[in-house]
Amino acid sequence: MRRSPWATLAVLALAQFIVVLDVTIVNVALPHIQADLKFSADSLQWVINAYTLLFGGFLLLGGRMADLLGPRRVFTAGLVLFGATSLIAGLSNSPEFLIGARAVQGLGGALLSPAALAILTMTFAHGRERNIAMGVWGGLAGLGGTLGVVAGGVLVDSLSWQWVFFVNVPIVIALVVLIPFFVPDLRHSVGRRTFDTLGAVLGTAGLMAVVYGVVRSEPAGWGSFEVIGVLTAGVLLLAAFVFVESRSAAPLVPLRLFRSRALSVSGASLALNGAGFLSMFFLTAIYLQQVRGDSALQAGVHFLPMGGAAIIGAVLASQLVQRLGTRTVQLGGAVLSLGGLLLLSQADATGSYASQLLPGLIVFGFGIIGVGVPGQINAVSEVRPAEAGAASGVVNAMYQVGGALGLAIVTTLSITHTTHQLTHGATQLQALQSGYERGLLAAAVFALANVLLTLATPQLQPTQAQLTEATVAA
């Protein structure tokens, strides 16, 4: 059957659209989820982190499975899993049930996302058509992140928080029906059919244990047997992960890639960027509704300028790196991210949105993409062409994992400060306001570290192909 490559792109881009949409659409529903399912303040972040950690932890395995089993097969399996767990998440009646559904949903995303990108690159030949396709892919993904906050607000206010998950189900059903007609079953020759499943499980389990230990430090205390035990287990699991990867014939993470200073430094920078972004998004979504009294829709609309700034910033960053070089643009992005977080931390419960929140959101939106585009270019600049895909997968996973770890640290510090304020006579509103400020200042520390780290990144003048791929990845 002859298939239009542009029809294939439409199916793939819509699938990626809902994966990105799911990251932002859930944030504005968090206060309602917390109230309905009786989440504690420290456990609420797992609605985000369970998804993020499984997505980042299994992203590389998903790409390997697509290579070995065929990308269409893995894409379909990931899409079905994503849709089924979206339905289960919407039907959840307890925190544990929802967190479990979100974790498996992240696994579905980790299967479908790299498989979809593999189909796209095999469908379009290298050159102008692929660049256009990648631009459409990246644009729709960015649009999903921007529209997610508004869509979430509309669904929560008009229906209920459950619909931020239910909305995925009819889209997934439609896509599964369309796949046999519009998505080709493309495969390429591979070597040994080896899956590094053990590596994926050890790495993800170790990261989840470390995050859980950080989260539990606030209610249980850093010196408690529980926290020390969980953190120790996490470190041991991560050590076992490194051991397995160093001896695997087909490692999930080829450790030799980290011999590249550019990849190591840029990967760490993107991880810090993820930490700042997820922390800001999580805290501000709750702050807007619980401190300023926004409805879910109002909160979503208030995030829109940040998304618009990020879209414009991606275009500007891709132009500026050709003129100024990657390090200059990345440094500017890190400085803007820091400035945006500091501006947001000064907001209070009574000031106007236009004067206290809007400037910080716009500056931060420009900043995060200003780090992302040149960071992606630098990360793969020193690796062989045959390993560029693996290197890109590693830094994307580092971004997700960095976001999850950063969110755990920032949220723990914010909750600890809020609790301290409550025990010293502050009102609930005052304590929440103070905790929000402390959390954003903690996130600003990540941005400051990124400013310093960026000074060690290489200065490159990228090609047009590198710009297209980096903009999509960012």
The encoded tokens of residue 103 equal: 């974790």
Q: Which helix (H) or strand (E) holds 136?
A: helix 128-158
Q: Which one, of 459, 28, 454, lies nearest residue 273 by Cα?
A: 454
Contact between residue 118 and residue 390 where contact means Cβ atoms under 8 Å apart: no
Q: Spell out the CATH class of 5-185.
A: mainly alpha
pLDDT of residue 211: 84
Residues of the chain with pLDDT under 70: 1-3, 126-128, 130-131, 134-135, 138-142, 187-195, 380, 385-389, 460-474
Q: Which one, of 8, 1, 6, 2, lies nearest residue 182 by Cα?
A: 8
Contact between residue 321 and residue 178 where contact means Cβ atoms under 8 Å apart: no
Q: Where are the domains of the chain?
A: 5-185, 197-251, 257-473
Contacts of 185 (CB under 8 A, 6+ apart): 70, 72, 73
The structure tokens 């490194």 sit at 242
pLDDT of residue 193: 58
pTM score, whole prediction:
0.84
pLDDT of residue 139: 67
Q: Which one, of 309, 274, 271, 285, lies nearest residue 150 by Cα?
A: 285
The encoded tokens of residue 95 equal: 């925190």
Q: Do 5-185 and 257-473 share a fold?
A: yes
Contacts of 446 (CB under 8 A, 6+ apart): 272, 275, 276, 279, 406, 410
What is the rounded (10 degree) CA torsion for 67, 68, 69, 70?
30
**Buried-exposed string 170-188: b where 16+ CB fall within 10 A, e elsewhere:** ebbeebeeebeebbbeebe
The encoded tokens of residue 322 equal: 């050709």
The yes or no reply on domain 257-473 and CATH 1.10.760.10 is no
